[in-house]
Every structure is written in C-alpha cells, then in structure tokens.
Amino acid sequence: MRLTPQETGAQVAAREFPTNRGGLCKKGWTAAELLARSDRLTAPLRRTGTAFVEIGWDEALDEIADRLRSLRSTHGPDAVGVFGGGGLTNEKAYQLGKFARVALGTSRIDYNGRFCMSSAAAAGNRAFGIDRGLPFPVSDLDEARTILLLGSNVAATMPPFIGHLSRAREHGGLVVVDPRRSETARLTEQGGGIHVQPAPGTDLVFLLGLAHVVIAEGLGDPGYVDRRTEGFDALRVSTNAWWPERVQQVTGVPVPLLRAVARRLAEPGGTYILTGRGVEQHVDGTDTATAAINLALLLGLPGTPGSGYGTLTGQGNGQGGREHGQKCDQLPGYRKITDTAAREHVARVWGVTAESLPGAGVPAVELLGMLGDEVRALLVHGSNVVVSAPDAAAVTRQLARLELLVVCDFFLSETALLADIVLPVTQWAEEEGTMTSLEGRVLRRRPAVPAPPGVRSELWIMRELAHRLDAPGTWSTDAAEVFDELARASEGGIADYSGLSHELLDTGIAAHWPFPRRSDGTPRLFADRFAHADGRARLVVVQPRRDDAAPVEPTELTLITGRLLEHYQSGAQTRRVPELLDARPELTAQLHPATAGRLRIAEGDPIELRNERGTVRARAEVTTGIRHDTVFLPFHYPDDARANLLTQAIIDPVSAMPEFKRTRVSVHAVLDAPAEMTAAAR
C-alpha cells in the first residue's frame, strides 16, 4: 500500500506486490481513515474514579516506574506481567521481550499470537524443526493444480489472496474444509473444487482418514517418505485405526468424499496443503496441524518444487511477532529461553549476564489467569484482551483486580478503558520499522504522515521506563538501530536476520529468512533438508482426545467464531471506520433455517446465545451455508456482543492455544427486544 499525505490523514493507493498483486480489500482502502480520527489518543491518561484525566508524559512514566519498582521489591519481579501483540513491528516486539527480561526482570511475558499462530508454530517446529508460515513464496501457489485449504476463510480475511487460488480453481482443485459454506468455500462452486463440511472439532479425524486412504491406496510417495522422514511405521499403524467408515461416523464426511479428496491430493501437477485458524484454534490444534503436515509428508509435498505445506498467518505481523521474544519461552531468533547457549548469546548482545535473564514464563491464558494474584501489574501493548481472549468476562474481572494496568494504544480500546494509565502511541503509518509476512519475507514499514503531537513510539516509552528502572544495556529509539541489535541477537538462531538491515531492505530486495550474514536469504526452505539435526522431517503420531464422548444436550449448538471481511481482530480499529461499521454495524449470528425454525427465530430477530460463562446478544442471520448443529459468531464486537464471553479458557497442552471453535451454547429468541437494539437495526 502506498500513502500520499493529505491535509488531514493520507490517501491510499494500491501497490504492485506479490502477496496482493496490487489489490486491496475494503479494510485496506479505508485504513487511512484511522489516521485522522478525532478520538485519537494524544496525551497520557490517568484514571480518577470512573473518568480519565490527561497528564504529562513525565508524570505518567514516573508514576508507572515508581509503582513497578515498588511492586517488584515487595512481590518480586514476576509480579509484573507484559502482554504483547502480533501487530507490533519486529523492532517493538523484540524490544518488548528485552524490556520484560532486562528492565523488568520478569519471566511473565506472552502475547496475543498465542490465540492465533501458536498451534501451527508448535506443529511446524515439531515436524520440520522450524516454523515459517509459508516455507515458500506465496506466488508459488499460483502454479498449483490442487490446494487443500483447511479452516481458513481467506476470501473474507485476506481477499486479494484468492488470486493465488485461481489456477487450482480452474482445474477444479480447490478443496475447502470448513463447517460453514464460507465465502472461501463458495469459491469451490461451479467446478472450482470440493467443499467438505465436517462437524466442528473433527478436523483431526478427517485428516487421519485422509492419511489412511493415502497409505491404503498407495497414493503417497514412499521414496520421499523413506529418504526424508522419520516415523513412518508408527504413523502407518496409528492411521490404520481410522478406516474411512469410522471417520465418517465421527466427522459426518461421507466415505466417497473422503476418498475423492485423498485421490485428488495425490494427482500430479502440484499440490499444496494450507491450514488456518479453523483447524488450529482448538485444544487439539497442534495435533490437527501435525496431522495436516503428516499428510503432506506422506504425499511428499514439503520441499518438493511446486508443492508444499504452509499455514496462513492471521495478524499484521503474525510471523515476525512470534520470532523475537514476545513468547514466554523464547529469545530473539526463535531461540529457546531454556537453552544455555541461546541465553549466553543473547545476554552478550544485551550487555547483561545470562544468569540475570529469567527463565520461561507462562503462556497467555495462564498469564491472564494469574492477574490479581501472582501478577499484580500488567503492561499491554497492541492487544485488546477484553474482546479477544477466551472467557472474556473472567478476563475483565481479573483485570479489575490488578494493582496497576497500563495500556499502550492509539485509541481507547475496550481494554484501555479499564486501565489505570493509558499511553498514546504511534500507529502504522506514522512509524519506521519492519514486519515479516506470511511467507517469511521481511518488509519495511515507513512513516507516511507525522504522528500527532503528544504521541510517542513504544520504543521511546520503553527507553524512558528502562532508564527510570535503572536497567542495564542500551535502549535505542531508532528503529534501524533496534533492528541491527535484533539482527545480532537473532544471529545463529532459527529465524536468523543477521544479514539484514533497514538499509538493505530499503533496496527493495525480497528478503526471506533465514537471512544470515553474507547470504541472499531463503525463499524456499526444505529443498535439501529439514531443520532437525539429521535433516529429516518427523512424522508424529497424533490421535484425537477422548473427551469427545461427553454428552451433548439435544438442543445445544456448537459455537464457532471467526472474522468478517469488514472487521479486523477485536474491531478496535475497524469499528472506527464508518464505512466498515455501516456495512457490519452489529453482531450477527449465523443459523441454519431448520435450526432457526425449531427455535422460532426469523431472519433479523434479536437473539441470545448462552452458556454457563455468559450471554451474548446478536441478531439472527438465517442461512443454509452453515451446518444445522452449528452457530457462527464473528468476534469483533464489544460489550455484550463479545463472542468470547462464551468461549472457554481451556488450552492445547502443547501450544497453549485456547479453544475458540467448539463451544457449546444454547440459542434463544428474545421476545421483547430492548429499545436500543431496535434502534440499531434502523
């Protein structure tokens, strides 16, 4: 995207680029409206009672530093937590991880990418020894004849991407797996491919069934499996237990369809398997992503020219944000914080001793669960947990129990509204930095417009706080300098950026990591070897968890959550763009006509979704595009329209990803619609 500054804000123009090929969706075209809004935060705010008052920066920073220091001396460094975001630039994400460990001395840092990419990341690391969303340039997909897209609604979340699916669609080879007939699933219509609608939460069994058919019918690539993988025998035995008829009983996917998909994947001409949040945001998300990788390995796809496996990143910097230390167990360069050599290396770059670095902290859901108890202060950067975290009501209650909540944001988000102190920061078009895209390509972000007076960069805030806390080391506010430090810290790690600099990126090169010194980067991984020491990928045996035997009340529905074309994440930004809000002003819940009929609900009726955690109010959207036992809610809305009031804070044991897509709810018609609801309907 290219921005031309205007008197207020900026004008958006598209720019030719491989990911979007010069296209933008509605969110992109309207993004500049965020730059000139009157409700932009321009001064630090302090809560007094129920209101905020503006205060000076020194006053705000002094107060924060004093209270952090006092909490730390009374309760120890782990009493302070940090919650980051996958939208932060690489520089800010890196500096935040360093700030937590060096300036605060706390192990308790994690970020909202835990709600987003952690399962795919864990699966990638386990199978390949490395986690890069797409281990190939996104434009490689253009040549594919078959693409299996599992749990991803790119047509709504990343519309320009669907251009990369064109050839597969022309050959009838787009296979979309989604319980909803989503915008993306509809791309399979008119000969575009196959839509498979398994019952929510049964993707893992579906994938085991595909692996079974691939092995049983000899559709795989035994030479590849022999040469490049470990663990085939155990995988074969484990998938033997998932013959197609058994898979049908669990998933609702008919046997002929299962076989047809397996056979299609094995056809020559280039096959890719891509996963998204729909299969990953589950308590068995890591295992489900692993099952997709196993399938890809059986077919000989990863590292073979013209084919592969990848996961589609969700947030602006979803890839870079998970590489440089925002994760509780991680140091820059995708290093493990528990690895002695990694600690030595990073401590040297930071100018501290390895012993002074804390150990592994706790992942996001667990961290949020500690608020008010072990964790007494929380710093939030680029995240709106009150809307986006599971069991949002509990999160809201716990935030209220904190002794200090500091939120850095550019608008008064729902989370900022609960803060003791809010710090106004720069947003995307006002700052220098880099982001790493879904294909592992490091991209420059440049300021197009000046930030409003009174607004500061988070790099500046971290330096000021670090100085006030007498932290060792250097705390640059210059993004290029911070990047250079990041590059050194990442050197020799998995996500090695050491050959990169802002200067080099400004030449316009396509820089895919790993990009060690004196290299040209790595557009395609796995051509010769995988990242495990022996160069082989791991086939990891996975099985569904057993708790699916729990009884379901006949009248209960399964709630799945997701995104709309018009909104992004918690909606804190997109709900502030009139054109986007007008298109999707309020929460709608998708229901099947048969279900709606049974519940005596008509299109447009106000309804309530309830379970033991909360009640959500929405308007009914009656559509045959959803399974009759399933209800869909987007998660972009605040207050009693928060889908996450219903979701449960249970997590994947490997990745700590919460379960967002398999929540039991009951749905009810609301007979007497309150006045504001009627008014909102216009």
Which residue ranges make up the site for other proteins (CB under 8 A)?
A: 14, 21, 23-26, 29, 155-156, 159-163, 166, 181, 183, 185-186, 189, 195, 197, 199, 215-216, 234, 236-237, 240-241, 243-246, 248-249, 251-257, 546, 549, 551-552, 554-555, 565-566, 583, 592-595, 597-598, 623-625, 628-629
Whether the Cβ atoms of residue 505 and residue 433 lie closer than 8 Å to each other = no
**Which of residues 106 and 202 has its CB atom nearest to other proteins in the complex?**
202
CB of 550 to other proteins, least distance (A): 8
**Residue 446 CB, nearest approach to other proteins (Å):** 23
Q: Which two tokens stand for residue 601?
A: 């609900």
Nearer to other proteins, 546 or 682 (CB): 546
Report in angstroms how near the CB of residue 374 gets to other proteins at its nearest: 27
Q: What own/partner pairs with CB < 8 Å and gap ≥ 24 does 525-530 have?
A: 525/128, 525/130, 525/132, 525/135, 525/136, 525/303, 525/440, 526/128, 526/135, 526/302, 526/303, 526/308, 527/303, 527/305, 528/303, 530/127, 530/128, 530/129, 530/130, 530/228, 530/302, 530/303
Contact predicate 456/423, CB 8 Å: yes
Shorter beta-carbon distance to other proteins: residue 25 or 266: 25
CB of 467 to other proteins, least distance (A): 46
Nearer to other proteins, 233 or 528 (CB): 233
Q: Which is nearer to other proteins, 327 or 627 (CB)?
A: 627
> 73 vs 555, which CB is nearer to other proteins?
555
Nearer to other proteins, 212 or 502 (CB): 212
Minimum distance from residue 163 beta carbon to other proteins (Å): 4
Shortest reach from residue 109's CB to other proteins, in Å: 33
Least distance CB 166 / other proteins (angstroms): 7
Nearest 5°: the CA angle 478, 481, 484 is 150
Let me know if 226 is exposed, middle or buried by CB neighbors in 10 A (0-12, 13-18, 19+): exposed
Q: Which helix (H) or strand (E) holds 264?
A: helix 255-265
Torsion angle of the four alpha carbons 486, 313, 539, 173, in this order, in degrees rounded to the nearest 10: -140
Shortest reach from residue 170's CB to other proteins, in Å: 11
* Sheet with strand 511-512: strands edge to edge: 433-436, 441-445, 511-512
Buried b (16+ CB within 10 A) or exposed e, 345-373: bbbebbebeeeebbeebbbbbbbbbbbee
| Min dist. Cβ of residue 566 to other proteins (A) | 7
Which CB sits closer to other proteins, 69 or 545? 545
Q: Backbone phi, then psi, for 489, in 5-degree steps? A: -65, -30
Nearer to other proteins by Cβ, of 196 and 572: the residue is 196
Helix H, strand E, coil C: the string for 172-204 is: CCEEEECCECCCCHHHHCCCCEEEECCCCCCHH
Closer residue to other proteins in complex, CB, 109/207: 207
Q: How far is CA 352 from the centre of its chain?
A: 32
On whether the CB atoms of residues 135 and 528 are closer than 8 A, the answer is: no
**Beta carbon of residue 430, minimum distance to other proteins (angstroms, whole number):** 24
Rounded least distance, CB 122 to other proteins, Å: 22
Q: Which amino acid is at 220?
A: G
Closer Cβ to other proteins, 186 or 524, answer by number: 186
Shortest separation between residue 411's beta carbon and other proteins, angstroms: 23
Smaller CB separation from other proteins, 77 or 625: 625
Phi-psi label, residue 151: left if phi above 0, alpha if psi -120 to 50, beta otherwise: left
Which residue lies nearer to other proteins by CB, 166 or 477? 166
Q: How far is the CB of 26 from other proteins (least distance, A)?
A: 5
What angle, rounded to 10 degrees, do the helices at 458-468 and 90-98 form?
10
Cα separation, 453 vs 463, in Å, equals 19
Residue 633 CA to residue 613 CA, distance in Å, equals 16
* 92 contact partners, CB below 8 Å, separation of at least 6: 381, 382, 433, 458, 459
- What's the CA gap between 365 and 377, in Å, rounded? 16
CA distance 95 to 321: 11
Q: At 483, which helix (H) or strand (E)?
A: helix 479-490
Q: How far apart are CA 347 and CA 332, in angstroms?
A: 11
CA distance 171 to 265: 12
Residue in 365, 311, 297 with CA at minimum distance from that of residue 158? 311
Length of the chain: 682
- Shortest distance in whole angstroms from residue 449 CB to other proteins: 22
Taking the complex as a whole, the smallest distance from the CB of residue 452 to other proteins amounts, in Å, to 28
Q: What number of other Cβ atoms are within 10 A of residue 42's Cβ?
A: 12
Considering the complex, state which of residue 166 and residue 501 has its C-beta at the smaller distance from other proteins: 166
CB 564 within 8 A of CB 156: yes
Q: Which is nearer to other proteins, 348 or 600 (CB)?
A: 600
